[in-house]
């Protein structure tokens, strides 16, 4: 069964959609959600404000799309990993990328009210996809002997993703740690634990 190729108009729409999302991502980092101006965004992309709203019905809808796009990028990165890379290594990379992205957004105030994000259908759909992928990774790592097989992967996966949503930017803003130290500490704590392995002292 052959699938029809997208028309020129559809390709142009997709290209413009990506350009809007990329520009919105940059403006969110520079200005934050409250200060991001839709007029400035339209001007930066080189389109009219009417065209912008034709793609995204509201500022909130646009920012949700930026967030979903970032989660999807993580999903695609996991699926595109080279053969031979262990599940635990892919899981670690995913967590580091997610913590670094989350920290960079919260440091600029580029966040939307968490409940508004969580309630959005497109966010919920993408989140369920990520939970499924992370659950598979955890199970694969358990089968390889890299994670405790007695832990419920169905519990661990959403727990990890929820932890990523926590705002730790106050630790960076106060000078307690750098974004890199924050990410490294959290990932190490999640994958290795904080309790000293008693077997090493025997």
Query: pLDDT tens-digit profile of 149-160?
Result: 999 999 999 999
Looking at the structure, tell me whether residues 70 and 28 fall in a common domain: no
Residue 129 in any domain: the answer is yes
Looking at the structure, tell me whether residues 39 and 85 fall in a common domain: no
DSSP 45-96: HTS-HHHHHHH-SSHHHHHHHHHHHHHHHHHHHHHTPPTT--HHHHHHHHHH
Query: pLDDT tens-digit profile of 44-60?
Result: 999 999 999 999 999 88
Looking at the structure, tell me whether residues 144 and 75 fall in a common domain: yes
pLDDT in tens, the chain (202 residues): 555 777 888 888 999 999 999 999 888 888 878 788 899 999 999 999 999 999 999 988 898 898 888 888 888 877 776 778 899 999 998 898 888 877 776 655 555 555 677 788 888 898 899 999 999 999 999 999 999 999 999 999 999 988 888 888 888 888 898 888 999 999 999 988 877 664 554 4
Q: What are phi and psi of 33, to 5 degrees?
A: -65, -45
pLDDT of 2 reads: 55
Looking at the structure, tell me whether residues 68 and 120 fall in a common domain: yes
User: Exposed (0-12), middle (13-18) or buried (19+): which is 55, by Cβ within 10 Å?
Assistant: middle
Looking at the structure, tell me whether residues 45 and 107 fall in a common domain: no
Structural domain harbouring 138: 63-196
Residue 49 in any domain: the answer is yes
Looking at the structure, tell me whether residues 67 and 50 fall in a common domain: no
Q: What is the CATH number of the domain that holds 41?
A: 1.10.10.60
Residue 163 in any domain: the answer is yes
Looking at the structure, tell me whether residues 71 and 151 fall in a common domain: yes
Looking at the structure, tell me whether residues 176 and 114 fall in a common domain: yes
Q: What is the CATH number of the domain that holds 189?
A: 1.10.357.10
């Amino acid at each position: 069964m052959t699938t029809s190729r997208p028309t020129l108009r559809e390709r142009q729409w997709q290209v413009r959609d990506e350009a809007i999302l990329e520009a919105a991502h940059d403006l969110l980092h520079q200005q934050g959600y409250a200060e991001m101006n839709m007029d400035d965004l339209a001007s930066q992309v080189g389109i009219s404000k009417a065209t912008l709203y034709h793609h995204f019905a509201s500022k909130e809808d646009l920012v949700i799309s930026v967030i979903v796009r970032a989660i999807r990028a993580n999903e695609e990165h996991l699926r595109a990993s080279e053969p031979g890379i262990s599940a635990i290594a892919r899981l670690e990379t995913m967590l580091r990328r997610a913590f670094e992205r989350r920290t960079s957004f919260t440091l600029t105030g580029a966040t939307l009210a968490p409940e508004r994000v969580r309630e959005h259908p497109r966010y919920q759909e993408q989140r369920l996809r990520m939970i499924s992928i992370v659950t598979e990774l955890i199970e694969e790592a358990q089968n390889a002997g890299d994670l405790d097989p007695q832990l419920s992967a169905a519990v661990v996966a959403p727990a990890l993703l929820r932890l990523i949503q926590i705002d730790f930017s106050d630790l960076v803003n106060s000078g307690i740690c750098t974004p890199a130290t924050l990410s490294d500490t959290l990932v190490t704590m999640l994958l290795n634990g904080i309790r000293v392995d008693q077997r090493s002292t025997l």
